[in-house]
Structure 1
Amino acid sequence: MIPTLEWTKDGVRFLDQTKLPLEEIYVTATSYDDIATIIRDMIVRGAPAIGVSAAMGVALGVERSKATDIDSLTKEVEVMCDVLAKTRPTAVNLFWAIERMRAKYYALASQPDATIAKIQASLIDEAKTMYNEDIAACKRMGAFGAELLPKSGTVLTHCNAGALATCGYGTALGVIRAAVERGAKIDVFADETRPYLQGARLTAWELLHDGIPTTVLCDNMSGSLMRAGRIQAVIVGADRIAANGDVANKIGTYSVAVLAKEHGIPFFVAAPWSTIDLATATGDGIPIEQRDAREVTHSNGKQMTPDGCGIENPAFDVTPAKYVTAIITEKGVLRSPYADSMRAMMEEAETAKA
């Protein structure tokens, strides 16, 4: 699998996705501040990968802390969590991972025999566990989703929801991989995904790496290809899914979903359960990250727009649940009405635990 990130003895090692597809360069974070910068600058990106990166950031920060007592370490942990939480506001996996690490820390710190060394070792183990859980979840998601894709034909995807957006295998691209592994004859249309070009740079790179035929489209081409009957399904990832099934994903996803609905093409979302935000009732409550105008005004360092013009650069948009055919998770496939199917899936999981 493509090594998006990994824990090493020197720190946390990341594939620098800003350099793809022309260069495969790795950077090593040696502090939680480094990881915050790596997340903010999109050296690592994709909601599941962001979450695990943040978990490793907390673990790395605690491992390298100079605190001599648990009270001092606790204050440092709160600062680490706050810094990491401010990196990217839309991906709920970020906050889920930070809260999981914070809860683990306080459970450890409250034990009568707690020591800094024990806490350090346990938090590193927890971050590594989350890494392995993410890969396993993607593979289960792939198995569920493969049944929904056509046995042959072309699948459109937007942005990058593959191994590069996770710890390995991928969400939307993991479903495509699983379908191909089962014998489906699928090729992929990858929207270029302006302005950051995750589709052109990343999705095309990793699918060709796996030998899956891929064609890059300008973002405004999908409608005409749908009308011509050249797209049989759409599958995307997600950065946050509200309790009613509204989906926040990379800017441009909403337009693709509306077009798919108009042309009778199934529109699937693949995301781990940690992407579902039951505390947010609808997509209207999802915060949308606004990014640097330079991502729009410049391309490869060259200015593309006149001085003085206004720039809009939201990183995400929200697709209402009515456009979503199904949401594929590692626990199973959710169908509309999503509030009901989410509740049923949660109850089923709780029953299984009991």
Structure 2
Amino acid sequence: MRDRLLAAEKIKAIDWRDGALFLLDQRVLPKVQTWLRYDSAAAVAEAIRTMVVRGAPAIGIAAGYGVALAARERLAAGGQWRAGVAADIALLAAARPTAVNLFWALNRMRERLERLADDAGVIAALDAEAQLIHESDREANLTMAQLGVDLIRKRQGHPQVLLTHCNAGALATGGFGTALGVIRGAWLEGLVEQVYADETRPWLQGSRLTAWELAEDGIPVTVNADSAAAHIMRTKGVTWVIVGADRIAANGDVANKIGTYGLAVNAMHHDVRFMVVAPSSTLDMSLENGEDIVLEARDGAELVGEGAPVAAFNPVFDVTPADLIDVIVTEKGVVERPNAAKMSALMCRKRLH
């Protein structure tokens, strides 16, 4: 199946060429496909903050390359360049608070830098580390796709109706996608009849990004208002809700795009299975449960427009309790009915591939 997945890989959102980072501007998709070039950590931090790049794995990958750019810039300037890189890492870390992949990637880059005693090899070493983060995520996507497809096949062996929320595809990762990677794999195996994509207010990642990705692959997709999801579960024969994650606590509680919690509640009521697909870098074992996750809230103007005469509450994420989740899929393996003991055991495993 892996070869078929690789052959179907079409879309990417991150590219590293000639010592510069290129990001596909997700703010203008699907009408325009514009690649933006970044040559500094400060510019990458701004791209993360302003949603040029989004999706927890993609944010982490971009941040890794941001550190590589920081080293280039600071070494060229001379002086106390390591202190300058440390400041750039702090700037990148402040760009978005919820997606743990950002901090995971920055810590990995920082640790790699700390092991380097010879300044002459810094740029090459950090470039290689950032590229390794990128490639590792791509490989994780492929493994998770295969594991998720196996779960869908076990439920029933004929084409099924799936529902997803926000964007957890190639645009949100370093490769094939997390939730959408599973859906893509299921399509290749003849297990998808129809996909419903929540529009995902207020940035409309579902209608602008997810629907575009699926349509590009020829997968039948229908966009729906977020508030229609329960009705769709009741009337359209949905068998699985499949979503990504921005941070997973030690007990299996999941922070993901606002609206995910409500989907999980509705899925349980309608006997629809609920699958979370995320690389192990999304697991934050330092947090006991979802109550400890910092949830980003953005400007209310994104919801109601500038100058609106009413206040607007605009949380970006919510927390889905572990007891509402049927299965968490990572590149290390699958956890059914997650809890603290099962998540701890998962993190002790090596990658499956």
Q: TM-score range by the shorter chain?
A: over 0.9
8 Å contact kept, 2:327–2:338: no
TM-score, normalised by the number of residues in structure 2: 0.93
Q: CA deviation at 1:68?
A: 6.5
- SS of alignment partner, residue 244 of structure 1: coil
**Residues 1-354 of structure 1 aligned to structure 2 (within 5 Å):** 1-9=10-18, 11-67=20-76, 72-109=80-117, 114-115=118-119, 117-149=120-152, 150=156, 151-298=158-305, 307-349=308-350
CA distance in 1 between counterparts of 2:231 and 2:12 reads 36
Q: How big is each residue's C-alpha offset from its partner over 1:108-153, in whole Å with a ceiling of 9 and x where there is no partner?
A: 13xxxx12x3011100010011111110000000010001125312
Q: Decide whether aligned partners of structure 1 residues 289 and 265 sit closer, same or farther in structure 2, where only a CA change above 3 A counts.
A: same
- SS of alignment partner, residue 151 of structure 2: coil
8 Å contact kept, 1:48–1:167: yes
8 Å contact kept, 1:52–1:131: yes
Q: CA deviation at 1:182?
A: 2.1
| Equivalent residue letter for 1:171 | T
8 Å contact kept, 2:280–2:347: no
8 Å contact kept, 1:156–1:233: yes
CA distance in 2 between counterparts of 1:337 and 1:24 reads 39
CA distance in 2 between counterparts of 1:132 and 1:144 reads 19
Q: CA deviation at 1:308?
A: 2.9
- SS of alignment partner, residue 333 of structure 1: strand
8 Å contact kept, 1:93–1:274: yes
Q: CA deviation at 1:28?
A: 0.5
CA distance in 1 between counterparts of 2:34 and 2:149 reads 32
- SS of alignment partner, residue 82 of structure 1: helix
Aligned CA-pair RMSD: 1.7
Q: CA deviation at 1:307?
A: 3.3
8 Å contact kept, 1:10–1:28: no
CA distance in 2 between counterparts of 1:219 and 1:337 reads 26
Q: How big is each residue's C-alpha offset from its partner over 1:137-173, in whole Å with a ceiling of 9 and x where there is no partner?
A: 0000001000112531210000000000001100000
CA distance in 2 between counterparts of 1:228 and 1:7 reads 45
8 Å contact kept, 1:153–1:231: yes
| Equivalent residue letter for 2:255 | A
- SS of alignment partner, residue 174 of structure 2: coil
- SS of alignment partner, residue 7 of structure 1: strand
TM-score, normalised by the number of residues in structure 1: 0.92
CA distance in 2 between counterparts of 1:337 and 1:7 reads 36
8 Å contact kept, 1:4–1:164: yes
CA distance in 2 between counterparts of 1:25 and 1:125 reads 26
| Equivalent residue letter for 1:140 | T
Aligned to 2:7: none
- SS of alignment partner, residue 261 of structure 2: helix
- SS of alignment partner, residue 349 of structure 1: coil
Unaligned 5+ segments in structure 1 are none
Q: Decide whether aligned partners of structure 1 residues 348 and 27 sit closer, same or farther in structure 2, where only a CA change above 3 A counts.
A: closer
- SS of alignment partner, residue 106 of structure 2: helix
CA distance in 2 between counterparts of 1:201 and 1:125 reads 33
Q: CA deviation at 1:335?
A: 1.8
Moved over 3 A (4+): 66-69
8 Å contact kept, 2:159–2:190: no
CA distance in 1 between counterparts of 2:278 and 2:41 reads 26
8 Å contact kept, 2:26–2:52: yes
8 Å contact kept, 2:144–2:330: yes
CA distance in 2 between counterparts of 1:75 and 1:38 reads 23
